[in-house]
Structure 1
Amino acid sequence: MKRIATEVSKLSDDELRSLLTAGERPTLKTIARISGLAITTVSRAMRNGADIGTDTKELVARIADAIGYVPNRAGLRLRTGRTNVITLVVPAESDLLNNLSKLTSSIAKEMRGTQFHLNVLPWFPDEDPLRPIKYIVETGSADAVIFNMTEPDDERVAYLLKKKFPFVTHGRTKWADQHAYYDYDNTAFIRVALRRLAKRGRKNILAILPPRNQNYSQDMVRGLEQESEILAIQYRISKNVDSDKHSDEIQHWVTRRLDQSPEIDAVLCTSSKAAIAAIVAIEKHGRKLGQDIDVYGKEVIPILNMFRENIIVEMEDIGPAGRFLAKAAIQQLQDPDLPLMQHLEIPVDTSE
């Protein structure tokens, strides 16, 4: 068997495909026949079994990819109760500058080569965010779920904890000690931002934050309250305009605030879209970016400094978040007795 496997490993993808018979639908038996391995060995290799060597796993994965093997989900579920599907539930947004595309890509790349497959399920702002979560659990259409835009008292988390269904969140909740998560320390982000602005002599900050019901927005408010007192900085937050609003709304709000409060000398933006809208308002107002007023922007796609050189930018790298979320979900399925994976990314002031 080892001799056959060694010989097969030297074949090209085209040569592997040529070993299929006419009209044959690739199955585990097909992979076993081509590789010379036992079906049980192939099956364990596909499930990333600890007792299977790396070379064998790589050979099985390569043959499966070359011949177009696709697991029979219905059969798999009947045999094991599993689907080998992890679903990413995300809001259906039209903002091309947000983090969802990069997050999805990094999760998919981390899952590549495993027995797990990624499914993306959107939910819309006008519907109950719990609906897609309940659908997954009640239909058994996935083995685990990943989602973002968490709230402190998140009903999705409460539901999944009650159902004991594997999940990971991009963001924390008040139950963070009970579930897997990856989060960015947004209180620290605000602290770094205000200190950098204070070094530039800025004392009156206009802040454009995410929707206030979300946990990371409340972390930012906490950072503003704490650090502004230490630095003797004044700040303003809109109750009606947030970083998720349309660019025109953000631009009009910044324009009104600059008219009403000409002492404003910095705008703190928590998204690229908000930063660009703020800059348009500032320039139309006749203010000089980087001279009598600053814009401090948080971004996940490096674009702001290509738009204007004088923007102060904080980059949040979503790639590690996606990879961590995928690993955390897979661990719960493969090694449920291990401690839940949790990580808080803390930004530092790289200007020092």
Structure 2
Amino acid sequence: MNDDEGCSASEQWSGAGERPTLKTIAFMTGLGVTTVSRALKDAPDISQETKERVRLVASQIGYYPNRAGVRLRTGKTNVISLILNLSEELMGLTTHIVYGISEILANTSYHLIVTPYSADRDPMTPVRYILDTGSADGVILSSTEPDDARIRLLTERNLPFVTHGRTDMGIAHPFHDFDNDSYAYEAVRRLTANGRKRIAILEPMPRYTYHRHMRSGFARGLRDFGAEAAPFSDVYLDNSMNQIHKAALELFSGKGRVDGFIAGSSAGAVAIASAAEALGLKIGEDLDMVSKQPADLLRYMHPGIMTVNEDIRLAGRELAKAVLGRIEGVPPERLQSISMPDGSLVYPG
């Protein structure tokens, strides 16, 4: 048996168990260590052909920069931290947003670290940890509140950040958001166009900014299109599917007729549709529903549900571009974007 059989490329070229280095890549490519280093940093004076050759070898041998060394030399960690509310996983958003961010960071020296926290924990804790340890060059926040203490602290400490959602606190900061106001308004229009008059909505918890946006669009739609709201205030998007299912069962079993539903997430829509079907109600006949979805799944699971796509992968890309821009010193007003329900992008700044 050949001694190299069963060994990884990095073990073959840098010694069993040793970490590949710039010298390893230089040896394999026939280039100088300085050239290899500059190629990996995308230096403008290095040819594209050389950069691609160096990156290919680096990928094959499993090379990655020593972050401790990079930090000592540059004061940077080359880390972007995504601080994520675990409730977003319940809504099926995490995978899509991570993919989108990773697509942008793939061509940079930055690495993504996901820092999750639960809704019942202090959301300041992961932010304070990053600030106190200097463990990231930039931060991506989710689940923003109208007056968000995390944003105030990050602004005071001058750490680059971007938010998935807006605030009402008068601090200019980078963000990407979905226009939930327009979504809810358009959803009411579509339901009333089908003759629906008594409409319930599964919305975010009142603490979040996008609750205000969704509630505002819903109220305007009811007024403009002559419908009324059916109470559904005991559960929110953050609740489990089982909790939403039980609440929908109670609502459909009550005295007040509900013939329209707006869901803020596809998971919530599935739970509501399941409750309706358990009581013998048919989506598209006995009632209609409009739901947001991050991927085209509801069409296969519940084709009767009217859908609006919220491209979370696009949101991830926009967030990554914004935090990188802020690290480079781009003014925050130029790093703001809003996705519209029709799929278009608006740049307020």
| Bin for the TM-score computed over the shorter chain | 0.7 to 0.9
Specify which of 160, 163, 168 is matched with residue 169 of structure 1.
163
Q: Show the 5 A alignment for 1:196-215.
A: 196-215=190-209
Q: Determine helix, strand or coil for the equivalent of 2:230.
A: strand
Give the corresponding residue for 1:279: 273
Q: Determine helix, strand or coil for the equivalent of 2:319.
A: helix
Mapped contact 2:162–2:174 kept (Cα < 8 A): yes
Change (3 A) 1:79 1:314: same
2:330 and 2:219 mapped to 1: Cα distance? 40
How much has 1:196 moved relative to structure 2?
A: 0.9
Q: Which moved more, 1:153-162 or 1:53-62?
A: 53-62
Specify which of 61, 64, 74 is matched with residue 67 of structure 1.
61
Change (3 A) 1:119 1:176: farther
1:176 and 1:290 mapped to 2: Cα distance? 43
Q: Determine helix, strand or coil for the equivalent of 1:195.
A: helix
Q: Deviations over 1:255-280 (max 9, x none)?
A: 32233344321111111222122112
Asked if 1:266 is matched to 2:273, the reply is: no
Q: Deviations over 1:43-82 (max 9, x none)?
A: 2332233444333322222121122212111111111100
Asked if 1:298 is matched to 2:298, the reply is: no
Q: Determine helix, strand or coil for the equivalent of 2:13.
A: coil
Change (3 A) 1:280 1:200: same
Give the corresponding residue for 1:22: 15
Q: Which moved more, 1:44-53 or 1:158-167?
A: 44-53
Change (3 A) 1:144 1:15: closer
1:86 and 1:349 mapped to 2: Cα distance? 27
What amino acid is aligned across from residue 327 of structure 1 in structure 2? K
Asked if 1:336 is matched to 2:329, the reply is: yes
What amino acid is aligned across from residue 192 of structure 1 in structure 2? E
Q: TM-score with structure 1 length normalisation?
A: 0.87
Asked if 1:345 is matched to 2:339, the reply is: yes
Q: Which moved more, 1:94-103 or 1:120-129?
A: 94-103
Mapped contact 1:149–1:171 kept (Cα < 8 A): yes
1:15 and 1:225 mapped to 2: Cα distance? 61
Q: What residue ranges of structure 2 are gaps of 5+ in the alignment?
A: 1-6, 345-349
Q: Determine helix, strand or coil for the equivalent of 1:298.
A: strand
Mapped contact 1:19–1:34 kept (Cα < 8 A): no
Give the corresponding residue for 2:347: none
Asked if 1:312 is matched to 2:297, the reply is: no
What amino acid is aligned across from residue 242 of structure 1 in structure 2? Y
How much has 1:86 moved relative to structure 2?
A: 0.7
Give the corresponding residue for 2:137: 143
Give the corresponding residue for 1:11: none
Give the corresponding residue for 2:4: none
What amino acid is aligned across from residue 20 of structure 1 in structure 2? W
1:152 and 1:94 mapped to 2: Cα distance? 18
1:345 and 1:169 mapped to 2: Cα distance? 14
Q: Determine helix, strand or coil for the equivalent of 1:178.
A: coil
Q: TM-score with structure 2 length normalisation?
A: 0.88
2:47 and 2:206 mapped to 1: Cα distance? 50
How much has 1:113 moved relative to structure 2?
A: 3.2
Give the corresponding residue for 1:325: 319
Q: Deviations over 1:137-177 (max 9, x none)?
A: 11011111112111111111111011110111111112576
1:55 and 1:215 mapped to 2: Cα distance? 47
Number of residue pairs the alignment of both structures matches = 336
How much has 1:28 moved relative to structure 2?
A: 2.0
Q: What residue ranges of structure 1 are gaps of 5+ in the alignment?
A: 1-13
Change (3 A) 1:239 1:107: same
Mapped contact 1:46–1:60 kept (Cα < 8 A): yes
Mapped contact 1:48–1:115 kept (Cα < 8 A): no
Q: Show the 5 A alignment for 1:23-62.
A: 23=16, 25-62=19-56
What amino acid is aligned across from residue 159 of structure 1 in structure 2? L
Change (3 A) 1:134 1:111: same
2:156 and 2:318 mapped to 1: Cα distance? 24
Mapped contact 1:328–1:341 kept (Cα < 8 A): yes
Q: Determine helix, strand or coil for the equivalent of 1:156.
A: helix
2:66 and 2:10 mapped to 1: Cα distance? 20
CA RMSD of aligned residues (A): 2.5
